[in-house]
Copies of this chain bind each other. A is one copy, B any other.
Amino acid sequence: MTPYSCKSRGELEKEYQAVLSQYDACKAMGLKLNMARGKPSKQQLDSVSGLLTVLQTPEDCFEDGIDCRNYGELAGLPSARAYWADILGCKPEETFVGGSSSLNFMFDVVSRAYTHGLLNSPRAWCREERVKFLCPSPGYDRHFRLAGFMGAELIAVPMTPTGPDMDMVEELVKDPQVKGIWCVPKYSNPDGIIYSDETIHRLAALNAAAPDFILMWDNAYCVHEFEGEYVPFPDIISLCAEAGHPDMVFEFASTSKITFAGAGISVLASSKANIDYFTGILAVQMISYDKLNQLRHVRFLKDKEHTIALMKEHGKIMAPKFHAVFDALEREIRPLGFAHWNQPKGGYFVSLNTMPGTARRALYLCKQAGVTMTPAGATYPNGLDPLDSNIRIAPSFPPVEELVQAMDVFCTCLKLAALEQLLGK
């Protein structure tokens, strides 16, 4: 196969006709496939069924003398706090264990910053003339939407193979209106990048003009290798403390992609001062979170070592799916030279950059052929990818045979959209 860039117009026309008839054949199959969201597969969910039966009797519901069926322990069951401290490498008193959603914790932090201010805020953010949030892009659409919903101006910062472009970040935080940055430090959504040690240290050392600047540290994929050995990560909370900014970071994680999606447990981790401040604030909205589900998780997942062993089993389910994606791209797209993508060893996504100006068109074509993907642009602030190039592929949910079909359609659509553009159709 010759790269499209080396083909003559006549060759491209011929290729276009061939791809168009492939596409028509795809459409005729009447598929209904979905690669839009990072959802665990049925097989993965089945593999943690032990969680359903770990609490069977009233006696099972007691831990550390606490009856988990009753109110109390707003900041979480002590054993659940110890579990997350073990996973994240911080101290139990630096954790607050909540309900099923870490996104909700992120919302709590940002929305309370707006209405009441954070520990070191001179005033509530709603009293600021303007609030800006740095959005390493491509990134997670829900992060950007959350900050935008609260009224922040979203500033895209390019991602590099080692994390956000730190030269740019260091420059931007000199603006006192810049109040925060979204980070997914391990297997970033969607690129699957692990921030380098240097990037992490520079983030912890950020000398922001705003005294209440925050690192929104979404460690969503902290133990989510699907290939190779577990990759350790530094404790961002002690790094920020060592750099003299103990209250600058809020770290988030959950078991949504370890046990049951939307029915797991989540954690907010930060300096003890921040945890104390937020415990006081969260007491207004909650009496206590679901400690039974916390206890189920602690008993089932046990500790970091046991969790990593479980994630190895998940990895065996996930790896073939990612490889179905990689293989199709390698075979169908690589030789044509118009797109590039990452090949992460963990996380939930493959991030692909196709020919600029064709991502939306390609996904529209996919949809017409029954394959739903995350909308193009979703990985950029306000849903606008300036190059219209980035596409997030989420291979976790469908069975491999469906993925193979979906990738076949997807590659056809990528080609067709690229050819349309090259030929000015």
Contact = CB atoms under 8 A, between A and B. Distances in A.
Interface of A: 37, 39-40, 42, 45-46, 49, 52-53, 55-58, 60-61, 67-72, 99-101, 103-104, 107, 111, 114-115, 126, 142, 145-146, 149-150, 256, 260-263, 284-293
B39 A71 contact: yes
Question: How many copies altogether?
Answer: 2
Contact of A285 (B45, B68, B103, B286): B103
Contact of A115 (B39, B57, B70, B111): B111
A256 to B, nearest CB: 8
Contact of A262 (B42, B100, B101, B291): B291
Contact of A101 (B60, B70, B286): B286
A56 B52 contact: yes
A253 to B, nearest CB: 15
A199 B150 CA distance: 38
Given A45-B69, A100-B289, 11 more contacts: A40-B70, A42-B67, A46-B58, A52-B56, A70-B261, A100-B290, A104-B286, A107-B284, A115-B126, A262-B289, A290-B290
Contacts of A99: 99-100, 290
Nearest to A294: B263
Given A263-B69, A263-B293, A49 B57 contact: yes
Contacts of A292: 260, 263
Nearest to A45: B69
A71 B72 CA distance: 28
Nearest to A126: B126
Contacts of A291: 262-263
Contact of A290 (B52, B71, B149, B293): B293
Given A58-B49, A292-B260, A286 B103 contact: yes
A71 B60 CA distance: 28
A284 B143 CA distance: 9
A289 B289 CA distance: 13
A260 B70 contact: yes
B42 A260 contact: no
A52 B46 contact: no
Nearest to A70: B261
Q: Which 3 pairs show the lowest CB-CB distances between chains A and B?
A: A107-B285, A69-B260, A262-B288
Contacts of A37: 71
A284 B147 CA distance: 9
Given A45-B58, A60-B52, A150-B115, A263 B68 contact: yes
A104 B52 contact: no
B52 A57 contact: yes
